[in-house]
Structure 1
Amino acid sequence: MKDHWRYTDPDPELVRSFSEFFSIDETMAGLLAARGVTSIHEAHEYLNPRISSLESPFRMKGMYEAVARIRRAVESAETIGIFADSDIDGLTSLAILIRLLEKIGHRVMPPPRRYPAGDDDYGLTREVADGLAAEGVTLLVTLDSGIRDIEEIRYAKSSGMDVIVCDHHEQGGELPDAIIVNPKQKGCPYPFKELAGVGVAFRLCHAVLASYLQRHNRTYLVCAAEGPGVYSTMVRNRIAEETRFHATPGEMAAAGLPPFDEAFVFGSPEEVERIRGLFPGTVVRDLIETERGSRDAAPGAGRGSMDICDSPLAHALALYNAHEYASSSKLAAFLESVTDLVALGTIADIVPLRGENRTLVSAGLEAFSTTTHRGLQVLKNMSWPPGSRDTGKKAPQPLRAKHVAWNIAPLLNTPGRFGQGRLTADFFLETDEARLAAVIADIMKLNEERRVLLTGLCDDFRARVEQGKFLAGESLIFVDEGEIPDGMCGLVASRLADAFGKAVITISGRVRNGLVKGSGRVNGSFNFFERVEPHGALFERLGGHAQAFGFSARPDSLPEIRDRIARSLGGFRESEALRGLHIDAELSLDAVTAKLVRDLALFEPYGHMSEEPLFLTRNVEVDFRSFGGKGTHGKFLFPHNPGIEAVGWGMAERMKEAAGGPIDLVYRLELNEYGGRSNPRMLIVDFDARARP
């Protein structure tokens, strides 16, 4: 086993508890543990993601103020302007907010909207603000942008606009003078910080719609009986306050509880009746009875299922949240109708696919199957896995996250990379089928140009890096030559980071208004942006995420930017922590079955920081065959297990040298469906022939 392979046996007690509770085999239970799941409750949430389990959107700092300002603008028929980033994350946010304004009857439609186009700089500009002011905008909402546009927002406000910043990027040292909705802003109590821009926009829309419900801003008592005692908490807008314990129900009634509108009780029928009797004249609901028939099933609606949650009160709150979600069919219907857009924007922005992102993407991929958006219907049908479309014999497979990431997202991100974000915006907003077909054709043509251009650029720069060009110390590749279009800088940087395991900065070859644009990328979990941000004074604009950011700068500042960042990176390079293979489970060859591969669907969707499981099989005898037009691909065959094959794309030469003796294999799994048969197939990630004696 190679030094950079990482595998740790999971806790056997945890594996056993998962296996017994969920009636899954120990391989599946071990994979749950390998993904950092540490309790029955976490496992249930992982295996059963539900929209109702999302945190209250009102936990996000600034949400109450943003909702109030949007409602005032709608009720006063003000002109609401929208500025969105030109990538998919920004433009799906735009589409969702426009749908919301239509839903709540905003009379000034369509709203004026802008996004970077042509030679526009990153983010909001004075020119954009001037254009919106000329259209009479009095409320500007920025989507997937704005958190660092300090001067531009100050200028917009001087033009008579109020501003709501709905963003997910890292804040700088100063915040704009605006209502800010961003889970990453300092002091925001919203616990999940990794939402994409469209995820934050989704939460904003959720909050606006929830504010129209009769239950908004009312207070509810939620309590759970445990033995002779009762745990209780007050809940307002799905935010639970301090938990109290009362030795008896009578003590709870005598405790001087704050006023509340209704009570929800989790307990036996007798316990519910006992508590109901303490509050005559108040509606007291049995949470078990309330939950039955809910459209969004909470964990274990049965009275004996408390083991799923960490405490009886946590179980009561989960049931209450499911009830709240189901209590308005119109709210739930709207949220579910836009989850396809939320999933697309989230996958495209390559945010970690865990926590609330996993919940949103799971719901969105399911919604893709019944989407009414004509453009998404067309692209969905173009993006099924090979061989999975209906041939009259079987239904197509569900759309998976990787097919969105590999097919749909790159296609729709292409126009923005060429300064033509209008095409992607039209894709999301156009309702005329003929015009939509023309838009899709234009996008596909641009995408083919992108693919050819990207391949040429990356081949050229890769060769030059191998010759020693563009190296800034041991840790940084700094590409400041060549004609890279602005929108291609990030793609080129990503490809070079993949190839060389270093931090990469690429600079566009075009100078406009005395500035050049650039992008920084790094693989893994290393926080590149954290090393760059202290040098922010060298940039005109700088913003982004830990592993991906963009900037604009003066050409004469580039040498100092390169030197300072190279020094700040220190000895960072292709470290074991960054590039190591983290193995999820060790399998014998006999355990590799078609059933196992099918069972892995439990762990969908896969994505950034939630990749497909990696498996290790040790000390296996293999035979070798090459295939492909030039024999560049290889197969390992197992003499004692003829139903399995292991494929190594582009690995034929290495595999031929290793054939014959025992080797250790690291691989992913898929089903090879051919001739009416389904056999497991290993997709080789790495192997080690050093296992031989």
Structure 2
Amino acid sequence: MNKRWVYVQEAPAEVVESLAQSLKISPTLASILCQRNLCTFEETKDYFRPSLSQLHDPFLMKDMDKAVNRLNDALHKGEKILVYGDYDVDGTTSVALMYGFLRGYTHQVDFYIPDRYKEGYGVSQQGIDWAEENGFSLIISLDCGIKSADKVAYATEKGIDFIICDHHLPDEDIPQAVAVLDPKQIDCPYPYKELSGCGVGFKLLQAFCLQNGIDQSEVYELLDLLVVSIASDIVPITGENRILAYFGLQHLNGPQPMRPGLEALTELAGITSEMDITSIVFGFAPRINAAGRMGDAKNSVRMLLAKTKGEAFKMADIINESNKARRDKDSNITKEALQMIEEDEFLRSASSTVLFKDTWHKGVIGIVASRCIEKYYRPTIILTQSNGKASGSARSVHGFNVHSAIESCSDLLEQFGGHMYAAGLTLPVENVPAFRARFEEIVASTITEEQKIPQIEIDAKIDIKQITRNFYNILRQMEPFGPENLKPVFVSECVYDTGSVRIVGDSHLKLRLTQDGYHSIDAIGFGLSDYYKVISKGIPFDVCYTIEENVYRGVINLQLRIKDIRSK
């Protein structure tokens, strides 16, 4: 699939030069920092040297004083507290963080995770009924609740108070809870708006410690859970999130023993190198999510809270089996979906993909939508049947607002929600054909030609000889990388292989690149074996890549991770 190479807009030359001189770094590195809105010495000092002292005062968040006062009141009176969280990684880490902390202060605390299929997303009536039946008078909801005004009202009628810790965009109708903690509320003065749901829960515990004279180190012990949430929920790695992720990764990679549940996941995922955002996203997140997709999300919480390695591995094995089942479902349904497109002339040439099959597993259809986009790069919706309705997940391509397109079909839907690049929807099965036609019409009339081609954002054009150990060491200080602080991508033009190009595995290229015949560097391109013939002829080409370390037989060398190649 062809890709567009899009260069990030450069900052004014005088700003770049001034920063380069003040930091004593190359203009290339200074330009990359400026592209990330880090243009002064003070801004970059905080960026390169994160400190927990840079975290914002949690009491700046709207309703934080009310939340802490209500929590203190519940603890002093011995009330039963229910920690309620969503079934994904953000929700389960939030529950483990909050419940794990509170049970050090009360035995009157339990947790609840709704069933993905019986109760659906968010606060459920069934969950509130369970809380009433078991004598709970306070519910702390995490990663959900901001869109549950009706459920909070229902709980209030039953004498149950709510503290909401959420990070999703609120509706106009804000729940009438005792406290609503969500920095995305229009009138919330909290300076950083992009916390994960677990991050909002963390701020509540931080405030609780401050008000009760408890050393902050007690809540900092939970940063390992928080970084798993930050990485897995794909929130921006900027500002406060970056500080929390930085110290969370230090916690995971530090000398102290790892939390047994995360240690078990590390072994099952085969992670042997230093933990980073990417290893969490690909190693931890699918396994934790699989518990809620294929079985019981409470198992994820139990694993994260396990006190012993034996207990942790017992739960992790269950979760790993769920992940294997998820992978099988994902693989089989993806094959079916792609075959449906390939065998239908209209679907092959359409501007969108909308597929429905009543036997597909609801827990993997979002993943299948993403897989389809890898082959057919266009807005995609995968639907299955659930509780007599067509229920689906939507995924989008760069720059196209799939939520807005779905909203234009709202008269055909019973329910929908989400954001620009991902959404969920429910509709009557009989409306699927009309929805498919309307959605295709909307996408075809609004998507641009550029949005139909995947793009790679490029930070800078450099020569191979610029890639030195010192250059790389400065790049490393920009970690942790993630959304809005991505690993820098470079282009080098008119490079050629020194004669070592070969295919490794089924479809990967291993080569050694040079521009001038003097400076050369190892490179690997996953899935790029189609370029072997051209490269082996010694023809110059342009290459787009990131820079990484490769460890082989104990020797550490720099290498390029090739993202794309353009032959001359």
Which of 488, 495, 499 aligns to 1:613? It is: 488
SS of residue matched to 1:613? coil
What secondary structure does 1:453 align onto?
Answer: helix
Q: Do residues 592 (structure 1) and 467 (structure 2) align?
A: yes
Please say if 1:571 is aligned against 2:446: yes
Look up the equivalent residue of 1:548 and give its one-letter code: A
The answer to whether the 8 Å contact 1:470/1:477 transfers is no
Q: Is the 8 A contact 1:479 1:506 kept in 2?
A: yes
Preserved CA contact (<8 Å) 2:83 2:110? yes
Deviation of 1:473 after TM superposition, in Å, equals 9.0
**CA separation of 1:164 and 1:538: change in aligned 2, threshold 3 A:** farther
State the 1:482 CA deviation. 5.3
Aligned to 1:667: 545
Q: Counterpart in 1 of 2:288?
A: 412
State the AA in 2 paired with 1:191.
Answer: P
Equivalent of 1:431, from 307, 312, 315?
307
What aligned pairs does 1:627-638 form with structure 2 within 5 A after superposition?
Answer: 627-630=503-506, 633=509, 635=511, 637-638=513-514
Pick the aligned partner of 2:262 from 334, 354, 376: 376
Q: Secondary structure at the match of 1:647?
A: strand
Unaligned runs of 5+ in 1: 214-329, 389-397
CA-CA distance at 1:37 after TM superposition: 1.9
1:522: which partner in 2?
396
SS at match of 2:354: strand
In the other structure, the counterpart of 2:112 is 113
Residue of structure 1 equivalent to 2:193 = 193
Distance in 1 of aligned mates of 2:398 and 2:480: 19
Structure 1 counterpart of 2:7: 6
**Residues of 1 paired with 2:545 and 2:229: CA distance?**
29
Offset of residue 341 of structure 1: 0.5
| Structure 2 match to 1:217 | none
1:578: Cα distance to partner? 7.9
Query: Which whole-Å deviations, capped at 9, do the CAs of 1:128-160 have from their partners, x for residues lacking one?
Result: 211110011111121111222233222222222
- For 2:421, the equivalent position in structure 1 comes to 547
Shift of 1:411: 1.4
Task: Report how many residues are paired.
Answer: 560
AA aligned to 2:198 is V
Aligned match of 1:460 in 320, 336, 347? 336
Report the equivalent of 1:312.
Answer: none
C-alpha distance in 2, partners of 1:151/1:564?
A: 31
Q: What letter corresponds to residue 161 of structure 1 in structure 2?
A: I
Tell whether the 8 Å contact from 2:112 to 2:127 is kept in structure 1 after alignment: no
Question: Are 1:648 and 2:525 matched, yes or no?
Answer: yes
Letter in 2 for 1:90: G
Residue 135 of structure 1: aligned partner: 134
How many angstroms apart in 2 are the aligned matches of 1:540 and 1:519? 14
Q: Contact 1:475 / 1:571 at 8 angstroms: preserved in 2?
A: no
What CA deviation, in whole Å up to 9, does each residue of 1:86-118 have, x standing for no partner?
A: 111001111111133234x2341x325333255
By how many angstroms is 1:62 displaced?
2.3
Residues 1:400 and 2:276 are matched in the alignment: yes
What does residue 421 of structure 1 align with?
A: 297
Structure 1 range deviating more: 3-12 or 142-151 = 3-12
Query: Deviation of residue 579 (structure 1)?
Result: 3.3
Aligned identity (percent) is 28
Contact 1:169/1:545, CA 8 A, preserved across alignment: no
Distance 2:403 2:304 in 1: 31
| AA matched with 1:64 | D
Q: Deviations over 1:171-191 (max 9, x none)?
A: 234232323211222322223
CA contact (8 A) 2:149 2:173 kept: yes
Q: Deviations over 1:477-510 (max 9, x none)?
A: 21222533222122112222343332222223x3
Shift of 1:456: 2.3
The CA distance in 1 between the partners of 2:365 and 2:340, in whole Å, is 17
CA deviation after TM superposition for structure 1 residue 614, in Å: 0.6
Answer with 133-142 or 497-506: which moved more.
497-506
Letter of the structure 2 residue corresponding to residue 581 of structure 1: I
Task: Quote the Cα distance in structure 2 between the aligned partners of 1:52 and 1:360.
Answer: 11
Task: Give the deviation of 1:349 after TM superposition.
Answer: 0.9
Q: 1:166 to 1:629 in 2, by over 3 A?
A: closer
- Give the letter for the 2:18 counterpart: S
1:525–1:578: 8 Å Cα contact kept in structure 2?
no
Are the counterparts in 2 of residues 89 and 348 from structure 1 also a CA contact under 8 Å?
yes
Cα distance, 1:649 vs. partner? 1.9
In 2, the alpha carbon distance for the partners of 1:73 and 1:92 equals 23
2:53 counterpart of 1:52 = yes
The amino acid of 2:525's aligned partner reads G
Specify the code of the residue in structure 2 equivalent to 1:553: L
Task: Please list, as runs of the form range in 1=range in 2, the aligned pairs for 1:88-103 lying within 5 A after superposition.
Answer: 88-103=89-104
CA distance in 2, matches of 1:438, 1:100: 23
Of 665-674 and 475-484, deviating more is: 475-484
Please report how far the alpha carbon of residue 629 of structure 1 lies from its aligned counterpart in structure 2 after TM superposition.
4.9
Question: What is the identity, as a one-letter code, of the residue corresponding to 2:260?
Answer: R
Hey, what does 1:343 align to over in structure 2? 227
Q: CA RMSD in A?
A: 2.9
Contact 1:81–1:141, Cα closer than 8 Å, also in 2: yes
Kept in 2, the 8 Å contact 1:503–1:573? The answer is no
Aligned partner letter, 1:344: V
SS in structure 1 of the partner of residue 477 of structure 2 = helix
CA drift at 1:535: 5.4
2:114–2:124 CA contact under 8 A, matched in 1: no
Contact 2:8 2:459 in 1 (8 A): yes
State the Cα distance separating 1:334 from its structure 2 match.
1.9
Task: Say which is worse superposed, 558-567 or 410-419, in terms of deviation.
Answer: 558-567
**Structure 1 residues 547 and 334, CA gap change in structure 2 (3 angstroms):** farther
CA distance in 2, matches of 1:474, 1:174: 38
- 1:683: which partner in 2? 561
Describe the shift of the 1:65–1:449 C-alpha distance in structure 2 as closer, same or farther (beyond 3 A).
same
Q: What is the one-letter code of the residue matched to 1:153? A: V
**3-state DSSP of counterpart to 2:319:** helix
- Find the aligned partners of 2:533 and 2:554 in 1 and give their Cα distance: 30
Residue in 2 that maps onto 1:202: 202
DSSP 3-state at the match of 2:45? helix
Q: Which amino acid aligns with 1:611?
A: L
Correspondence 1:109-188 to 2 at 5 A: 110-117=109-116, 119-178=118-177, 179-188=179-188
Does the C-alpha gap of structure 1 residues 617 and 576 become closer, same or farther in structure 2, counting only changes over 3 Å? farther
- Supply the distance in 2 between the matched residues of 1:561 and 1:501 (Cα, whole angstroms): 20
- The residue number in structure 2 matching 1:603 is 478
Distance 2:76 2:344 in 1: 63
Report deviation, 1:619: 1.9
Question: Counterpart of 1:211?
Answer: 211
Q: Mapping of 1:29-44 within 5 angstroms?
A: 29-44=30-45
Residues 280-291 of structure 1 correspond to what in structure 2 (within 5 A)?
Answer: none
Give the Å deviation of 1:599. Answer: 3.3
After the TM superposition, which of the residue ranges 24-33 and 66-75 deviates more from structure 2?
24-33
CA contact (8 A) 1:634 1:648 kept: yes
Out of 322, 325, 329, the position equivalent to 1:449 is: 325
Q: AA paired with 2:361? A: P
CA change 1:185–1:8 in 2 (3 A) is closer
Unaligned residue ranges in structure 2 (runs of 5+): none
The one-letter amino acid of 1:199's match is: G
Equivalent in the alignment of 1:361: 245
Distance 1:654 1:466 in 2: 25
What is aligned with 2:217? Answer: 333
Amino acid of the structure 2 residue aligned with 1:448: K
Which residue number in structure 2 is paired with residue 246 of structure 1? none
Amino acid at match of 2:286: P
Offset of residue 526 of structure 1:
4.2
Alpha-carbon offset, residue 196 of structure 1: 1.2
Which range moves more in the overlay, 409-418 or 585-594? 585-594
